[in-house]
C-alpha cells in the first residue's frame, strides 16, 4: 500500500475531486468500543447466572440429589398412622428415600400393641409402608442382617473400621459368597453334598464368631474350627447359587425322608384366611415323625380346616402333606419375631427320651 493509498484510505472523492470523510470508517472503532463496554457485563452476568444455578440447585435440588436416610422401626413401635406421618414428612422436607431397619435395642413400648418383626401384622404394616413410599416416588431399601453376627458378614477388622465411614457401594450378587467368605454343603456323614443335594451349610471366614455372649452355646464346627455353621440346611445349584431350605433343628424326618417345614408353611400362608402358620414333626410310632400343622386365622376370618386341607394337598407331595391340622388363636413368638416352634413341639414330645 503506497503513501497515497494510505492518505486516501477512508475517504470518498467527489466529482470536484475534494476528499470527504467516509462515515462508515468509524464503525470498526465503535464496534470495538462496544465490545469492550459490554463484554465484561456479559461475562459477569453469565458467571452470576451460573452461581444462581448452583444456589438454586442447593436451595431446591432435583429428586436425584435428595438425601436417603435410615428409617428405624424400633422394637415394634409401629402403626400405620405413624408410617404415614413419617413418610409424608420425609417427602415434604426433601428426603428422596429410606433404608428400613428393624431393631430392638430394648426400646420401651409406646404403642398400644407392638408389631413383632416378621409376624403377619408386621408384614402387613411393611407392605403398607412400601406401597405408600412408592406412591410418593421414594427410593426404598431394606437393611437386613440375618446370621451376620455369627459369620462376620460384611464386617471388617478393627484396623479397617474407620473405612466404614467412607461412602461406597458394592454390588453383590445374591445367593453367592463374596468378600473372601467360602461356603460348602455338608451331609450328615461329614462328606460334601453333591450339587442340588441338601445338607448343612458351613462357612469359612476369619470374621466368624465362636459362640454366643453369656452362654455356653457354640457354633457347629468342622476341620479344626475352620468351618462354622449356624444350623441352616441348604443346597447349591449348578451355577453355584445357594438356596436355604430350613433350619436344621426344624427339619422333620419321617420314614427316613427329610421334610422342610418352611416349604409347607409357604403353601399355608398362600391361603387367603391364614394369618400365621407353624409346621413341625410330632411322634409317630410307624414313621418316627409325622407332619403336623397349626394355623391362626386372620382377624374376622374363620378357617375351615377341611377346606384348608383341600387347598394344600394339590400343592404338596404326598409325604409333605400335614396329617393333622389344628387351629389356635395365636402362635408363640419371641420379641424379635421368631416363631417358637420348640414351645409347640414340646407339647407333643413330653415324656419321650428322644425328640426324633
Output the CA torsion 343→348→353→356 (10° steps). Answer: -90
Mutual orientation of helices 305-312 and 261-269 as an angle, nearest 10°? 120
- Ranges of residues in the chain with a pLDDT under 50 are 1-27, 29-37, 164-167
pLDDT at 57: 73
pLDDT at 49: 60
pLDDT at 271: 93
In this structure, what DSSP letter does residue 63 have?
G
All cell numbers assigned to 325: 391340622
- Name the CATH superfamily housing domain 251-349: ANL, C-terminal domain (3.30.300.30)
pLDDT at 165: 46
Which residue from 197, 196, 179 is spatially nearest to 188, judged by alpha carbons? Answer: 197
pLDDT at 14: 44
- Name the CATH superfamily housing domain 148-152+177-247: Luciferase; Domain 3 (2.30.38.10)
Report yes or no: 76 and 122 within 8 Å, Cβ to Cβ. Answer: yes
pLDDT at 51: 64
pLDDT at 83: 95
pLDDT at 67: 85
- Mind giving me the DSSP string for 131-197? HHHHHTT-EEEE---TTHHHH-TT---GGGGGGGGS-------TTS--TT-EEEEE-TTSSBPPTT-
b/e map of 284-303 (b: 16 or more CB within 10 Å)? eeebbbbbbbbbbbbeeeeb
Report yes or no: 262 and 280 within 8 Å, Cβ to Cβ. Answer: no
All cell numbers assigned to 91: 417427602
Which of helix, strand or coil describes residue 58? helix
Which of helix, strand or coil describes residue 328? coil
- Residue range 56-91, pLDDT digits in tens: 777 777 777 788 888 988 888 999 999 999 999 999
pLDDT at 283: 93
Domain ranges of the chain: 22-55, 63-142, 148-152+177-247, 251-349
Amino acid at each position: 500500500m503506497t503513501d497515497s493509498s494510505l492518505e486516501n484510505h477512508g475517504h470518498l472523492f467527489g466529482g470536484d475531486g475534494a476528499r470527504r470523510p467516509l462515515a462508515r470508517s468509524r464503525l470498526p472503532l465503535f464496534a470495538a468500543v462496544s465490545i469492550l463496554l459490554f463484554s465484561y457485563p456479559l461475562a459477569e452476568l453469565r458467571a452470576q447466572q451460573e452461581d444462581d444455578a448452583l444456589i438454586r440447585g442447593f436451595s431446591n435440588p432435583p429428586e436425584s440429589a435428595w438425601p436417603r436416610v435410615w428409617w428405624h422401626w424400633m422394637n415394634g413401635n409401629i402403626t400405620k398412622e405413624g408410617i404415614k406421618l413419617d413418610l409424608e414428612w420425609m417427602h415434604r422436607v426433601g428426603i428422596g428415600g429410606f433404608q428400613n431397619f428393624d431393631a430392638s435395642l430394648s426400646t420401651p413400648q409406646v404403642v398400644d400393641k407392638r408389631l413383632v418383626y416378621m409376624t403377619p401384622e408386621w408384614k402387613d404394616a411393611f407392605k403398607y409402608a412400601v406401597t405408600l413410599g412408592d406412591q410418593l416416588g421414594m427410593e426404598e431399601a431394606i437393611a437386613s442382617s440375618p446370621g451376620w453376627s455369627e459369620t462376620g458378614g460384611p464386617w471388617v477388622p478393627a484396623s479397617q473400621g474407620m473405612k466404614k465411614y467412607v461412602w461406597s457401594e458394592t454390588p453383590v450378587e445374591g445367593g453367592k459368597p463374596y468378600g473372601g467368605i467360602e461356603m460348602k454343603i455338608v451331609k450328615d456323614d461329614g462328606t460334601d453334598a453333591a450339587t442340588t443335594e441338601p445338607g448343612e451349610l458351613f462357612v469359612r471366614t476369619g470374621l466368624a464368631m465362636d459362640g454366643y455372649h453369656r452362654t455356653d452355646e457354640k457354633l457347629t464346627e468342622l476341620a479344626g474350627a475352620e468351618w462354622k455353621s449356624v444350623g441352616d440346611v441348604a443346597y447349591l445349584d449348578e451355577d453355584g447359587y445357594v438356596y436355604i431350605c430350613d433350619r436344621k433343628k426344624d427339619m422333620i424326618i419321617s420314614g427316613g425322608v427329610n421334610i422342610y417345614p418352611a416349604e409347607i408353611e409357604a403353601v399355608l400362608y398362600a391361603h387367603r384366611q391364614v394369618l400365621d402358620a407353624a409346621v413341625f414333626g410330632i411322634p409317630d410310632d410307624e414313621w418316627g415323625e409325622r407332619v403336623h400343622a397349626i394355623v391362626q386365622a386372620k382377624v374376622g376370618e374363620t378357617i375351615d380346616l377341611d377346606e384348608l386341607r383341600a387347598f394344600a394337598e394339590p400343592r404338596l407331595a404326598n409325604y409333605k402333606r400335614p396329617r393333622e391340622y389344628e387351629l389356635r388363636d395365636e402362635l408363640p413368638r419371641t420379641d424379635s419375631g421368631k416363631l417358637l416352634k420348640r414351645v409347640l413341639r414340646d407339647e407333643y414330645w413330653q415324656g419321650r427320651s428322644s425328640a426324633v
